[in-house]
């Protein structure tokens, strides 16, 4: 193959296979993702059922989990951000076979969600009980990492740092004070105080020993862990409810740093919006009245969100301008000013996309005849994203908008269970026993192994469970052949590209597509818009490329090796040498960068070695591409 053979192949991909269209309901495809730097560096595999992608991934616990994503989001992540081509084989299935597969993958996904969620509950409960135990023993409490969701909308850490109830604020909120009067008229003057008394009693007598009631079950898709209201969930729900009551009683205002006020005349409320916002205000008031008498355990968080929105909505009506609550999560990804300058063109594109998304969200909101929380949440998120991306050369939050504002605070110390230290120690022992049993059960089907249990083997194993759930051996193979046209043994086809080849040889494949990566698509466009040879030469390396800006997530390299099969070993030597150079420089900068440069250089050396035997790794990756442009260019239906 010559220097431009990879480019020629990409042209064929584009014009003869076409871009990726969403699958129709009933479609079943096997997807092979080429190797690349980062996650699943040796390649990855997934299946597509309808418009959903299912794939197994290794997580930090040492277990392998089934993930589910929309097809568009999956392709954007792998083809665009990770810049890796995808190979799809569409497989013929009867409607009955398709339903069996879909049911199995859905059931497996939700079963794992429940199983791993309980592990998470156990971790949180252990942290909370240890926190209580240290306080009982008059020791300094450790940071539990547990947070009160929504508490940060009206309180800061200083407000909750004292023993006893939070002190009233210096200024009060007129909308919340007015609502408090309505609550007293509806429920009585002492209702809020009685609810607070009940909450205090519930915390003092909180059941801290839920995990001794049952042994961890022998897990399967059909047998899930018992539903347990975790101590950490119960405690946080109660404390959050108490803070919601205090917010109403004290008419606390929304924190001043959480007001999002888009600048410019275009954010004035028009007549249609004024009418809808007035409806929204009344609905928020009704929501709070109903929630204060609700039996749902998390009503406190819901009250805080509705109160925060009520305040900004009231001010929107007073000023006739849109005002929103800051809905970025506490752990939002941030972009430093120097990175913004480096990627200024991409930032402008993202800001333009955010503006268009905000305009569409406003139109949808104004056209609604009734209140829709999802509609308002979409508008709130769009406004937050636009305002954030419109900041000029300042550090900004890139990802993390949430459908519901969730500003959180650390656990306060002013309301604790009365359980003595001995009881807390016993509860911790019961919890640890249950946790050990559950973890042992999870390791049996989910312990990751590079060869015996990886992203490929678990796909085939789940397929076989769906089509031949009670069979083994020859019967299993016969049933798989009946449904799919052939049988693939997962124990001998555990490498992604080997599995993809086996799909071609064994299953009833009715269509194959190879979907180019982001850089390949752009390179094809350049080659048709200018001299193909000069474009290919310029874009063959990172030093002169106009399609790739250095991404710190990539170890430093010189040559892209995805389009040049014949020259790949030579380019690999150059890339490995670049890794050596970065490693040597990293030794010099070790005292200043905590070894980041050294680590990146060593990583660059390692991922360049496969290129010496013609395996492509170095493709480069991207951080700030436009999802909206991806949807438009690849003919996916908008998820707005």
SS3 sequence of 474-533:
HHHHHHHHHHHCCCCCCCCCCCHHHHHHHHHHHCCEEEEEEECCHHHHHHHHHHHHCCHH
pLDDT band at 413 (very low <50, low <70, confident <90, very high): confident
User: What does the pLDDT read at residue 506?
Assistant: 95
Asked whether the beta carbons of 108 and 115 are under 8 A apart, the reply is: no
Q: Distance (Å, rounded) from C-alpha 605 to C-alpha 559?
A: 13
What is the bridge-based pairing of β-strands 44-49 and 28-33? Answer: antiparallel
495, 514, 533: which is the final residue of a domain?
Answer: 514
pLDDT band at 12 (very low <50, low <70, confident <90, very high): very low
pLDDT band at 588 (very low <50, low <70, confident <90, very high): confident
pLDDT band at 476 (very low <50, low <70, confident <90, very high): confident
3-state secondary structure of 257: helix
Residues 216, 222, 226, 227, Cα dihedral to 10°: 150
3-state secondary structure of 33: strand
pLDDT band at 223 (very low <50, low <70, confident <90, very high): low
Residue 429 vs residues 139, 236, 602: alpha-carbon distances, Å: 20, 22, 43
3-state secondary structure of 214: coil
Q: What is the mean pLDDT of the chain?
A: 88
Instruction: Kindly state the average pLDDT of the residues 285-312.
Output: 96
Q: Structure pTM?
A: 0.88
- In what helix (H) or strand (E) does residue 32 lie, and over which residues does it extend? strand 28-33
pLDDT band at 10 (very low <50, low <70, confident <90, very high): very low
Q: Quote the tokens at residue 56.
A: 């197994």
pLDDT band at 3 (very low <50, low <70, confident <90, very high): very low
Structural domain includes residue 419:
no
Q: Do 350 and 450 have their domain in common? A: no
Q: Do 80 and 50 have their domain in common? A: yes
- The answer to whether residue 257 scores a pLDDT higher than 80 is yes
Q: Tell me which residue range forms the domain holding 29.
A: 11-92+446-514
Cβ neighbours of 24 (radius 10 Å): 8
Structural domain includes residue 128:
no
Nearest-CA neighbor of 420 among 614, 101, 187, 137? 137
Phi/psi of residue 196, nearest 5 degrees: -65, -40
Structural domain includes residue 412:
no
Q: Do 377 and 477 have their domain in common? A: no
Q: Do 367 and 468 have their domain in common? A: no
Instruction: Kindly state the average pLDDT of the residues 69-90.
Output: 96
Structural domain includes residue 179:
no
3-state secondary structure of 321: strand
Q: Count structural domains, the chain.
A: 3
404, 435, 454: which is the final residue of a domain?
Answer: 404
Q: Do 571 and 489 have their domain in common? A: no
- Kindly report which listed range (123-137, 318-332, 473-487) carries the lowest average pLDDT score: 473-487
User: What does the pLDDT read at residue 526?
Assistant: 93
Structural domain includes residue 171:
no
Burial class (CB in 10 A: 0-12, 13-18, 19+), 232: buried
Structural domain includes residue 220:
no
Instruction: Kindly state the average pLDDT of the residues 6-32.
Output: 56
- Kindly report which listed range (195-199, 324-328, 458-462, 473-477) carries the lowest average pLDDT score: 473-477
Q: Do 539 and 618 have their domain in common? A: yes
169 alpha carbon, distance to own chain's centre: 36
Q: Do 621 and 525 have their domain in common? A: yes
Asked whether the beta carbons of 252 and 169 are under 8 A apart, the reply is: yes
Q: Do 468 and 532 have their domain in common? A: no
The strand pairing partners of 296, in sequence order, are none
Q: Do 342 and 377 have their domain in common? A: yes
How much of the chain, in percent, has pLDDT values that exceed 70? 92
Q: Do 392 and 476 have their domain in common? A: no
Q: Do 498 and 528 have their domain in common? A: no
484, 514, 544: which is the final residue of a domain?
Answer: 514
Q: What DSSP state is assigned to residue 449?
A: B
pLDDT band at 22 (very low <50, low <70, confident <90, very high): very low
Instruction: Kindly state the average pLDDT of the residues 74-101.
Output: 95
Q: What DSSP state is assigned to residue 76?
A: I
Highest mean pLDDT of the ranges 245-254, 389-398, 600-609: 245-254
User: What does the pLDDT read at residue 472?
Assistant: 59
CA angle, 508 then 514 then 520, to 5°: 175
pLDDT band at 332 (very low <50, low <70, confident <90, very high): confident
User: What does the pLDDT read at residue 14?
Assistant: 42
Structural domain includes residue 39:
yes
Structural domain includes residue 387:
yes
Q: Do 505 and 529 have their domain in common? A: no
564 alpha carbon, distance to own chain's centre: 35
């Amino acid at each position: 193959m010559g220097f431009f053979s990879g480019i020629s192949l990409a042209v064929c991909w584009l014009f003869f296979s076409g871009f990726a269209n969403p699958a129709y309901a009933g479609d079943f495809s096997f997807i092979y993702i080429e190797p690349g730097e980062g996650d699943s560096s040796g390649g990855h595999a997934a299946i597509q059922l309808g418009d959903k992608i299912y794939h197994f991934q290794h997580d930090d616990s040492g277990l392998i989990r089934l993930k589910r994503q929309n097809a568009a989001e999956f392709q954007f992540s792998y083809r665009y951000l990770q810049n890796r081509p995808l190979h799809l084989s569409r497989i013929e299935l009867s409607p009955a076979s398709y339903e069996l597969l879909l049911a199995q993958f859905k059931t497996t996904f939700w079963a794992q969600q429940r199983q791993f969620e309980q592990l998470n509950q156990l971790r949180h409960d252990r942290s909370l009980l240890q926190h209580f135990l240290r306080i009982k023993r008059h020791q300094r409490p450790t940071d539990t990492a547990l947070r009160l969701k929504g508490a940060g909308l009206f309180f800061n850490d200083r407000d909750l740092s004292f023993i006893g109830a939070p002190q009233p604020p210096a200024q009060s909120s007129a909308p919340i004070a007015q609502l408090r009067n309505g609550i007293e008229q509806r429920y009585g003057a002492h209702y809020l105080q009685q609810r607070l008394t009940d909450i205090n009693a519930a915390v003092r007598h909180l059941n801290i020993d839920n995990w001794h009631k049952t042994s961890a079950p022998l897990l399967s898709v059909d047998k899930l862990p018992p539903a347990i209201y975790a101590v950490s969930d119960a405690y946080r729900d109660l404390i959050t409810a108490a803070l919601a009551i205090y917010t109403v009683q004290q008419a606390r205002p929304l924190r001043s740093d959480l007001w999002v006020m888009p600048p410019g005349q275009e954010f004035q409320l028009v007549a249609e919006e004024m009418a809808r916002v007035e409806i929204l205000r009344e609905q928020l008031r009704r929501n709070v009245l109903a929630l204060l008498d609700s039996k749902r355990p998390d009503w406190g968080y819901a009250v805080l969100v509705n109160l925060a929105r009520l305040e900004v909505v009231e001010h929107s009506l007073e000023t006739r301008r849109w005002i929103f609550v800051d809905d970025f999560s506490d752990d939002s990804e941030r972009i430093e000013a120097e990175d913004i300058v480096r990627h200024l063109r991409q930032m402008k594109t993202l800001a333009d996309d955010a503006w268009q998304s905000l305009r569409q969200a406003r139109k949808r909101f104004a056209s609604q005849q009734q209140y829709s929380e999802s509609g308002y949440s979409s508008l709130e998120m769009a406004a937050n994203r636009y305002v954030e991306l419109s900041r000029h050369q300042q550090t900004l939050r890139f990802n993390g908008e949430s459908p519901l504002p969730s500003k959180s605070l650390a656990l306060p110390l002013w309301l604790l269970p009365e359980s003595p230290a001995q009881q807390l120690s016993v509860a911790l022992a019961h919890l640890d026993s249950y946790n050990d049993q559950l973890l042992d059960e999870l390791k049996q089907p989910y312990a990751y192994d590079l060869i015996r249990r990886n992203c490929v083997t678990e796909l085939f194993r789940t397929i076989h469970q769906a089509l031949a759930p009670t069979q083994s051996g020859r019967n299993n193979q016969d049933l798989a052949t009946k449904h799919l046209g052939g049988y693939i043994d997962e124990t001998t086809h555990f490498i992604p590209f080997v599995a993809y080849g086996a799909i071609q040889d064994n299953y009833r494949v009715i269509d194959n597509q190879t979907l180019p990566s982001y850089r390949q698509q752009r390179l094809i466009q350049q080659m048709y818009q200018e001299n193909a040879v000069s474009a290919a030469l310029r874009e063959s390396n990172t030093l002169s490329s106009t399609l790739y800006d250095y991404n710190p997530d990539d170890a430093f390299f010189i040559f892209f090796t995805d389009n040049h099969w014949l020259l790949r070993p030579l380019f690999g030597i150059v890339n490995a040498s670049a890794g050596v150079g970065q490693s040597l420089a990293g030794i010099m900068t070790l005292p200043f960068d905590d070894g980041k440069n050294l680590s990146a250089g060593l990583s660059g050396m390692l991922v360049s070695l496969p290129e010496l035997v013609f395996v492509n790794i170095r493709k480069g990756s991207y951080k700030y591409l436009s999802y909206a442009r991806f949807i438009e260019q690849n003919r996916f239906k908008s998820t707005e």
